[in-house]
Amino acid sequence: MVRGISIMAIICLCLIFGMENISHAVFSTNPVFMQEHIEKMKREKPQKYQAMVQKAGGNITDCCSCHTEICKEKK
């Protein structure tokens, strides 16, 4: 009984972390999502948006343009 529960827990954790990586990959390659995210940040957090644009060198192409620390962790 305990062995079965342990196996199910491990499988669920693997699926959760695996899906997180897949979902980030889908969002970062979807130009519509990126444009909506950029526009939302412009409206809701203009100062943070400006800092991110400067961090990206003025050219935001994907998630890693602004969120470099997250992309370095994933590699």
The pLDDT of residue 58: 83
The pLDDT of residue 74: 59
The pLDDT of residue 44: 93
The pLDDT of residue 36: 87
Q: What string of pLDDT tens digits covers the 75 residues of the chain?
A: 788 888 888 887 766 666 555 555 555 567 788 888 889 989 999 999 898 888 888 888 777 888 777 777 655
Q: Is 44 exposed, middle or buried, given 0-12, 13-18 or 19+ CB atoms closer than 10 A?
A: exposed
Per the structure, how many domains does the chain have? Answer: 1
**Which residues form the domain of 67?**
2-74
Q: What 3-state class would DSSP assign to 44?
A: helix
pTM > 0.85? no
